[in-house]
Amino acid sequence: MTERADPASLEIAPDTAALRATGNWRVVELGMAWLTALLQARIGPAPASGAEQSAASARLAYDAERDRLRRDGLPVAFDQLSAMFGLSPFEEDICLLAMAARVDETVAALFGSRGGGPSHPPLHLALRLFSGMRGEAALAAHLCFGPGAPLRRFGLLMVDEPGGIDSLSPLVLEESVARFLMGDASLAPRVAACLTPLPPVPTAAAQQQAAQALGRRIRSVDAMELRGPAGSGRRSIAAQAMAQLGLPLFELRPPRPDADPATLRQTLIALSRAARLHGFAVLVDAARVRRLAAPDNREAANETIAALVAALDCTCVLIEEEARETSAGLLAIEVPPLGDRDRLEVWREVAPGADETLLGEVAAQFPLAPEEIAQVAAAVPSFARGPLWAACRERARGSTDELGDRVSPHYGWDDIVLPDDTLNDLRAIAGQARHRAKVYGNWGFGDRLVRNTGITALFAGPSGVGKTMAAEVICRDLDLDLLRIDLSGVVSKYIGETEKNLKRVFDAAERAGAVLFFDEADALFGKRSEVKDSHDRYANIEVSYLLQRMESYGGLAILATNMKTHLDPAFLRRLRYVVDLPFPDSASRRRIWQRAFPPEAPTVGLDFEALARLDVPGGNIVVIAVNAAFLAAGEGLPISMVHVARAARSEFRKLDREFRMPNPTEVRRGP
């Protein structure tokens, strides 16, 4: 059986390597002895008497040593080389001859000398030595050196002749092949540098079916495609399928866009040769190649991916999210997306003994792929709620910065001042997000709600009443990130671009397990208008797409608006919650003023009853308090009513409103 590369070290086990090196080095030694006798018998003006018989005896010894290794159950490197690349006995002997200059100076000296050192045997010498030995005709022997023949197709021979190979071309065995024949099974550094091991990990039952299909079908082809959404476990499926075939799987690190084409071509040839020689498969992630190779040029990126797959002359798996032109000619297997129950299956495998409720919650909140789940389970210090939740949250974050501002929430329930009914609605939203796994999974409601299993909420109210703060409070309670979307980066004047941008936003938010927050949502979710021209038609298409995407969104999405009446009624009907945050009354404003000044801040004579009569919302109250603190700090005094009055007057000017202090007699200069 062929010795396989260890996925962790890219080398075979040390004890096996030692046995292999000892046995195969002896084979090489006996092969060199045979070549020496054969050269002495067939090259030169006067061969010694009995030279042919000596050569025949040396060959018998060489073949006998290979037979002994087979009987002892040890791998024979020459057998493996021939099996992996489909070499004929003639081509096998060529490889032995071509490695002579690397391992035996005596044999190399018989080829002649160039520049004082031993030279490599020319092609005509190989034909003279071996042609006809086993019945090969000279023409058939010449065909073994054609560009499509294994010796050159896989770069076993280092032939780089601009005008093509001829009878004087030197035969040089590639170094890694020579080392392999001598018993060294480690990968060449340049090959190992462009590979990342992908050990098999547990998969859900739905993904196991795809793995079995891939394992069956890839036996008859060199390359296949796994097509499915990000996070669906395509890597784990490929690794499991290759494990069924006894092939470790390695992911190809995408080449740099400025890579030299000739160097890249040689690297891919070396990689293909190593994959066949050491028995492993290669995975190509089209999305990673696309991002690195040509992120702004889709056509160029697709050409690069297609060229990479075509150049990999070994067992290869391409993973894609959707059908593209790079998939032409490849047999594709569709991979279903992972559901909460599928991820829970994987969590049970990698985290035995962990709390079942906790595993259900992380499976529902963080849509990690099976390989990511295995990585988190291996790295987390314990399966307690705190460490496991934090590790999943960090692993799921990914790259969402380019889509919006990721906010780490700081406000809690004690920081927000709202009527009891409004607070109850906010707590209900948090409760739905927290207990989603129990209700949809354990209690079976997920089978009733096929699509709309996410939670959508609208926070409506005038500016400054705490819509963003309410979203942060919920996120902190759930221990999740808040992804605040910048609408200027989403809405596009170009037809179809807004939908694409929205898809990226929703997909990224789902993968990150974050809470999606659209501020000033009326600008994006406005009413559909009567169609008068093409712009109206495409604007309505954008709103319709948004309505559909919101229904299928699997996480918590919060929208905020100052103008609830401007929103599309059909959109409002599809929301799970609509929460009106009212303008604070006098009692609420008093509580907000009291919380606006931290306990550490020095204050004197603040009249919260008087401040509560200022007709401003909480957001403006906080701004006034902070500005008053800076005024007091600049004067070296504690915060007093005079500082608050000056800060409030400035804030009212900003709002184009006239400022009047409710009780001016209480405003004194200084403490």
Q: What is the pLDDT of residues 190-232, one digit of tens each?
A: 899 999 999 888 888 888 889 999 999 998 788 999 999 888 9
Residue 641 has pLDDT above 90, yes or no: yes
Radius of gyration of the chain (CA): 36
More confident residue, 556 or 444: 556
Work out whether strand 117-118 and strand 113-114 pair parallel, antiparallel, or are unpaired: antiparallel
Q: What is the pLDDT of residues 138-167, one digit of tens each?
A: 566 667 787 888 988 898 988 655 556 777
According to the model, what pLDDT value does residue 322 have?
83
Q: Lowest mean pLDDT: which of 322-326, 355-359, 419-423, 616-620?
A: 322-326
Q: What is the pLDDT of residues 248-261, one digit of tens each?
A: 999 998 877 777 88
Residue 489 has pLDDT above 70, yes or no: no
User: What integer is the mean pLDDT of 121-132?
Assistant: 77
According to the model, what pLDDT value does residue 596 have?
94
3 state SS for 575-635: CCEEEECCCCCHHHHHHHHHHHCCCCCCECCCCHHHHCCCCCCHHHHHHHHHHHHHHHHHH
Ramachandran angles phi, psi of 169, nearest 5°: -65, 130
Closest among 400, 417, 664, 420 to 555, alpha carbons compared = 400
According to the model, what pLDDT value does residue 280 have?
93
CA 554 from chain centre, in angstroms, equals 21
* C-alpha angle 185-191-196 in degrees, rounded to nearest 5: 100
Residue 518 has pLDDT above 60, yes or no: yes
Q: What is the pLDDT of residues 283-320, one digit of tens each?
A: 999 988 888 876 677 777 888 888 888 889 999 999 99
Reading the block at residue 323, the tokens are 């059908």
Reading the block at residue 203, the tokens are 């998969």
User: Residue 363 in contact with residue 339, Cβ under 8 Å?
Assistant: no
User: What integer is the mean pLDDT of 387-392?
Assistant: 94
User: What integer is the mean pLDDT of 659-670?
Assistant: 55
Domains of the chain: 14-186 (no CATH), 190-334 (3.40.50), 340-397 (no CATH), 407-580 (3.40.50.300), 586-666 (1.10.8.60)
Tell me the pLDDT of the chain averaged across its residues: 82
According to the model, what pLDDT value does residue 390 have?
93
Please name the residue that has the structure tokens 């280092």: 158
Residue 671 has pLDDT above 50, yes or no: no
| Cα separation, 187 vs 275, whole angstroms | 9
CA 52 from chain centre, in angstroms, equals 61
Closest among 244, 246, 324 to 284, alpha carbons compared = 324
User: What integer is the mean pLDDT of 650-655?
Assistant: 91
Residue 29 has pLDDT above 80, yes or no: yes
pTM check: above 0.85 = no
**pLDDT-above-90 percentage for the chain:** 39
Ramachandran angles phi, psi of 417, nearest 5°: -115, 110
User: Residue 555 in contact with residue 432, Cβ under 8 Å?
Assistant: no
| Cα separation, 485 vs 394, whole angstroms | 20
Residue 387 has pLDDT above 50, yes or no: yes
Reading the block at residue 188, the tokens are 């060449």
User: What integer is the mean pLDDT of 456-471?
Assistant: 92
Residue 381 has pLDDT above 50, yes or no: yes
Residues whose CB falls within 8 Å of the CB of residue 556, separated by 6 or more in sequence, listed in order: 429, 433, 454, 455, 456, 457, 474, 478, 480, 515, 516
AA letter at 62: Y
Residue 469 has pLDDT above 90, yes or no: yes
Residue 18 has pLDDT above 60, yes or no: no
Residue 116 has pLDDT above 60, yes or no: no
Residues whose CB falls within 8 Å of the CB of residue 117, separated by 6 or more in sequence, listed in order: none
According to the model, what pLDDT value does residue 256 have?
76
Residue 117 has pLDDT above 70, yes or no: no
